[in-house]
């Protein structure tokens, strides 16, 4: 058994198909299949259930594949330790970010980060919180920018900034005339929310319950931009994070009276990561940039 065998098994777990797994590992399908059979013989257990079209891991195969992911992640960390010893501010950095932040935060921070960390090759991966958290655990990401809280004891975090929510309404809506919104103004109103899976949906739902507002049942958005267009079309009203409050003549953003609804954004990484020095430095840089360029309160 060797590291390549473990990579092949994990690839099969990810793709569920010999051809796709072989392509991902840059080997021929027969070569991959042969190595997996040898691995089964070495371990003395059946790892896969095979048919002509797909492949599925057995119960034992799934457990071994999960352990293989951990081993491969640790192998990568050994390599990173060696690299970091030479220069902790070099190499590649796979950074995840949730979609309700990505298009609004990245334009502010990436020009400065790529300038200040010229030896770092940044790879940006957008995804929802559950997906990014799993990728962090598996070692597929070095770090991720997500909203607090994230309940995972294996991760460390550094809070970056607090972002207030504003009420987005069409320019002709009655609430557009207000200078500030009170919670009582939203009692029994219907608020457009994102679809399941977005942490912002959970935060907005919690706020709706607090102010006795309701979720609009006839629509759920796939993105903040979709919600903005629906508001502009006078279909409804929604909560919009400050960074996402882009100029639109058809939409008015009304702030709330204190205490304002907010979300907290943080940088997360594995507690065992060898890139901690770099990631803490990047967190400081992001806080500085967001305070200077976007006028958001950083921690």
Domain boundary assignment for the chain: 3-82, 90-161+264-293, 163-262
Same fold, 90-161+264-293 and 163-262: yes
Q: Mean pLDDT, 10 residues at a time, over the chain (299 residues)? A: 90 89 91 91 89 80 90 81 74 94 95 94 95 92 95 94 95 95 93 89 89 90 94 95 93 94 95 91 94 70
Helix, strand and coil content of the chain, in percent to the nearest 5, comes to 45, 25, 30
Q: Give me the helix-helix angle, 29-43 and 3-15, nearest 10°.
A: 110
3-82: what CATH class?
Answer: mainly alpha
The predicted model scores a pTM of: 0.76
Query: 246 vs 42, 104, 225, CA distance in Å?
Result: 59, 9, 10
CATH superfamily of 90-161+264-293: Periplasmic binding protein-like II (3.40.190.10)
Q: What is the CATH number of domain 163-262?
A: 3.40.190.10
How many other CB atoms are found less than 10 A from the CB of residue 291?
15
Rg (CA), the chain: 23
Per the CB < 8 A criterion, the answer to whether 55 and 12 are in contact is yes
Residues 152-171 as b/e (b if ≥16 CB within 10 A, e otherwise) read eeebbbbebbbbbbbbbbbe
């Amino acid at each position: 058994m060797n590291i390549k065998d473990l990579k092949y098994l994990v690839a099969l777990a990810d793709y569920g198909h010999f051809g796709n797994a072989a392509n991902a590992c840059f080997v021929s399908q027969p070569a991959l299949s042969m190595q997996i059979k040898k691995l089964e013989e070495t371990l003395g257990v059946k790892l896969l259930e095979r048919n002509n079209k797909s492949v599925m891991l057995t119960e034992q195969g799934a457990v071994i594949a999960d352990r293989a992911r951990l081993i491969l992640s640790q192998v990568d960390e050994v390599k990173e330790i060696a690299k970091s010893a030479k220069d902790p501010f070099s190499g590649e950095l796979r950074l995840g970010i949730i979609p309700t932040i990505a298009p609004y935060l990245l334009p502010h921070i990436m020009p400065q980060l790529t300038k200040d960390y010229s030896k770092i090759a940044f790879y940006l991966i957008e995804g929802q919180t559950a997906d990014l958290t799993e990728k962090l655990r598996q070692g597929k990401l070095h770090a991720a920018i997500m909203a607090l809280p994230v309940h995972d004891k294996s991760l460390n975090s550094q809070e970056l900034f607090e972002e207030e929510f504003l009420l987005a309404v069409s320019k002709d809506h009655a609430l557009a005339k207000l200078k500030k919104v009170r919670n009582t103004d939203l009692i029994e109103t219907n608020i457009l929310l994102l679809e399941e899976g977005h942490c912002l949906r959970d935060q907005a739902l919690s706020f709706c319950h607090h102010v006795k507002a309701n979720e609009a049942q006839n629509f759920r958005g796939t993105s903040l931009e979709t919600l903005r267009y629906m508001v502009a079309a006078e279909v409804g009203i929604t909560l919009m994070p400050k960074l996402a409050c882009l100029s639109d003549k058809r939409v008015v953003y009304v702030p709330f009276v204190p205490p304002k609804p907010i979300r907290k954004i943080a940088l997360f990484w594995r507690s065992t990561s060898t890139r901690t020095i770099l990631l803490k430095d990047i967190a400081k840089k992001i806080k500085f940039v967001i305070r200077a360029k976007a006028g958001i309160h950083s921690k």
